[in-house]
């Protein structure tokens, strides 16, 4: 068995030796005597079909697999990638590994072979949970999205997979995580630290951040304390006294308000807080995010999790992403799908950098030179023009209470603490 250094030397690029060598010996201890199972032709055909990759790509995948079966260095590298993503005891996905130049235009497919090998693991996981096969096949489409919508876009049509995305695929094999229509959902305790109240009679909803949360002057959050320097930052308050909750609220438009309000608990009930089971929503690439598609997905999610996880009742969907940055309401027209979707949700500020999420738009890790960024799409051009004004970019969060789904499409949270975004 070769060492990581020997393998990289043979493929002609040892620049990432430190990362590739991580857990190498443990992975090689599990190396199959007959070589990686995911290099077998029948296995590849089944996984290609199950994951929705184009049939025309099958011959290319088979050619790379044949080259790896004949070359121990390629086979070991592919196995190590697979093991790190799916079998390492603690997640340690590969990062920025070299692609074997000897494979030419097919060099991105070696890691894609390891990626689509998650198909039988996802099937087995879903079968244990009693999930219908139709949902499994829908969920497995993420591999094709990573290839077609991201990697091909960043490599002039050449297929493969970005390793920085491949690590996410581990979740599909072991978590209650499913694609249902346009959106994906992960049943887990809510990680965002907030507390949400609903008026018992009117249904009005108000969210509060924890006591002592620091905000920028205009009510947003940075991921580094030093970013608040030289501006009039402030700290939220939250307390309970005299059967009331009193604190500085978050506007549903996505920023914290520098004022205190008091809600009598006789009239307001707590409906959501950190640690309670929730559906963490993820938004796969590909396909229009129309209100109709989003509503249909949310309805499916509500009914699906009630049916298959009745012992874990969930009250809300939540997510943090660049997609919920309320600056998009300035950048895009009112008719844009993202703008229309945002206005149906309760937005809230989350800690973020000035480059959060821009990788998904430009396939460039920030900070990067704006002049070097692609301007191929309308969204890219609008964001670059916005950033050129010197404004700071950010990410944001959202939640939507499942009991409000019958009001989806009517902007159910829009009037709460009504005030335009600033």
Contact indicator for 184, 177 with CB cutoff of 8 Å: yes
CA 164 to chain centre: 12
The answer to whether the CB of 188 falls within 8 A of the CB of 278 is yes
HEC string of 316-377 equals EEEEEEHHHCCCHHHHCCCCCHHHHHHCCCEEEECCECCCCCHHHHHCCCCCCCHHHCCCCC
- Looking at the predicted structure, is the pLDDT value of residue 310 above 50? yes
CA–CA separation, 224 and 226 (whole Å)? 5
H helices present in 236-321, as ranges: 291-308
387: in domain = no
396 near 326, Cβ under 8 Å? yes
Rounded Cα gap, residues 362 and 358, in angstroms: 6
CB count within 10 Å of CB 178 equals 25
- In this predicted structure, the answer to whether residue 418 has a pLDDT above a threshold of 60 is no
What residues form DSSP beta bridges with 185?
178, 281
Look at residue 327 and tell me if it is in a domain: yes
Q: Are residues 136 and 200 in the same domain?
A: no
- pLDDT bin (cut points 50, 70, 90) of residue 421 is very low
Assign 416 a pLDDT band (cuts: 50, 70, 90): low
Which three-class secondary structure state does DSSP give residue 421? coil
* CA–CA distance, 18 with 405 (Å, rounded to integer): 49
**Residue 76 sits in the same domain as residue 134:** yes
Q: What share of the chain has pLDDT > 90, as a percent? A: 95
pTM for the model stands at 0.94
Instruction: Give the domain-ending residue among 174, 196, 227.
Output: 174
Query: pLDDT per residue over 315-367, tens digit each?
Result: 999 999 999 999 999 999 999 999 999 999 999 999 999 999 999 999 988 88
What is the separation of C-alpha 401 from the centre of its chain, rounded to a whole number of angstroms? 20
Q: What pLDDT shows up at residue 417?
A: 64
| Residue 365, preceding peptide bond in cis (omega within 30° of 0) | no
Residue with tokens 């969204």: 379
**Mean per-residue pLDDT for 152-156?**
95
Whether residue 281 is found in the same domain as residue 152: no
Q: In whole angstroms, what is the distance from residue 223 CA to residue 21 CA?
A: 31
DSSP codes, 139-168: HTTHHHHIIIIIIHHHTTT-----HHHHGG
Determine the Cα–Cα distance for residues 328 and 143; give it in Å rounded to an integer: 28
In a domain, 380, yes or no: no
For 128-147, b/e burial (b = at least 16 CB within 10 A) is eeebeeebbbbbbbbbbbbb
Which of 151, 174, 197 is a domain's end point? 174
Which residues, including other chains, have CB under 8 Å from residue 285's CB and lie 6 or more apart?
145, 149, 150, 360
Is residue 241 located within the same domain as residue 156? no
Is 77 domain-assigned?
A: yes
pLDDT of residue 46: 98
Q: Are residues 23 and 170 both part of a single domain?
A: yes
Whether 411 and 303 share a structural domain = yes
My answer on whether 235 and 344 are in the same domain is yes
Same domain? For 121 and 228 the reply is: no
Mean predicted lDDT score pLDDT of the chain: 95
Task: Give rounded-to-5 percent helix, strand, coil for the chain.
Answer: 40, 15, 40
Tell whether 300 is covered by a domain.
Answer: yes
Position 422 confidence tier, pLDDT thresholds 50, 70, 90: very low
DSSP lists the bridge partners of residue 250 as 207, 256
Q: Looking at the predicted structure, is the pLDDT value of residue 419 above 70?
A: no
Task: Answer yes or no: do 49 and 146 share one domain.
Answer: yes
Is 330 in the same domain as 402?
yes
The closest alpha carbon to 80, from 119, 17, 26, 143, belongs to 26
Q: Is residue 43 part of a domain?
A: yes
State which of 128, 152, 174 marks the end of a domain: 174
Report how far residue 251's alpha carbon sits from residue 248's, in angstroms, rounded to the nearest whole number. 10
250 shares its domain with 337 = yes
Q: What is the pLDDT of residues 123-134, one digit of tens each?
A: 999 999 999 999
Closest by CA position to 247, among listed 295, 296, 194, 283: 194
pLDDT score recorded for residue 4: 97
Q: Residue 123: inside a domain, yes or no? A: yes
Q: Is 11 within the bounds of a domain?
A: yes
Each residue's pLDDT tens digit, 216-244: 999 999 999 999 998 999 999 999 999 99
Q: What is the mean pLDDT of residues 272-289?
A: 94
pLDDT grade for 420, boundaries at 50, 70 and 90? very low
Range of the domain at 246: 179-352+394-422
Q: At what angle do helices 72-86 and 4-11 cross, to 10 degrees?
A: 120
Q: Per the structure, how many domains does the chain have? A: 2
Q: Is it the case that residue 247 has pLDDT exceeding 70? A: yes
Same domain flag for 135 and 188: no
The predicted structure's pLDDT at residue 287: 80
């Amino acid at each position: 068995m070769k060492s990581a250094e020997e393998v990289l030397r043979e493929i002609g690029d040892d620049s990432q030796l430190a990362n590739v060598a991580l857990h190498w010996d443990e992975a090689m201890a599990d190396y199959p005597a007959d070589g990686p199972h995911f290099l077998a032709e029948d296995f590849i055909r089944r996984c290609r079909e199950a994951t929705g990759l184009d049939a025309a790509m099958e011959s290319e995948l088979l050619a790379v697999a044949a080259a790896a079966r004949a070359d121990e260095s390629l086979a070991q590298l592919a196995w190590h990638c697979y093991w790190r993503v799916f079998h390492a005891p603690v997640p340690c996905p590969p990062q920025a590994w070299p692609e074997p130049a000897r494979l030419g235009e097919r060099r991105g497919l070696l890691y894609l072979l390891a990626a689509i090998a998650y198909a039988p693991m996802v099937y087995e996981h879903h079968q244990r949970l009693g999930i219908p096969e139709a949902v499994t096949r829908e969920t497995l489409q993420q591999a094709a999205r990573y290839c077609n919508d991201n990697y091909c876009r960043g490599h002039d049509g050449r297929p493969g997979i970005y390793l920085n995305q491949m690590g996410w695929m581990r979740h599909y094999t072991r978590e209650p995580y499913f694609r249902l229509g346009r959106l994906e959902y992960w049943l887990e305790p809510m990680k965002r630290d907030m507390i949400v109240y609903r008026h018992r009679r009117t249904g009005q909803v108000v969210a509060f951040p924890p006591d002592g949360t620091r905000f920028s002057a205009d009510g947003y959050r940075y991921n580094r304390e030093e970013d608040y320097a030289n501006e009039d930052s402030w700290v939220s308050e939250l307390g309970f006294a005299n059967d009331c909750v009193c604190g500085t609220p978050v506007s549903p438009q996505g920023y914290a308000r520098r004022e205190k309000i008091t809600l009598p608990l006789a009239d307001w009930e707590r409906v959501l807080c950190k640690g309670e089971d929730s559906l963490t929503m993820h938004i796969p690439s590909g396909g229009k995010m129309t209100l109709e598609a989003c509503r249909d997905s949310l309805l499916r999610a509500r009914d699906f999790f009630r049916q298959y996880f009745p012992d874990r009742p969930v009250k809300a969907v939540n997510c943090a992403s660049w997609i919920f940055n309320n600056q998009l309401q300035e950048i895009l027209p009112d008719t844009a799908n993202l703008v229309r979707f945002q206005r149906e949700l309760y937005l809230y500020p989350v800690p973020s950098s000035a480059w959060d999420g821009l990788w998904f738009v430009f396939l460039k890790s920030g900070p990067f030179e704006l002049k070097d960024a692609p301007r191929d799409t309308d969204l890219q051009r609008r964001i670059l023009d916005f950033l050129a004004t010197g404004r700071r970019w950010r990410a944001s969060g959202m939640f939507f209470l499942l009991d409000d789904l019958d009001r989806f499409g009517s902007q159910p949270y829009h009037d709460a603490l009504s005030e335009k975004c600033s």
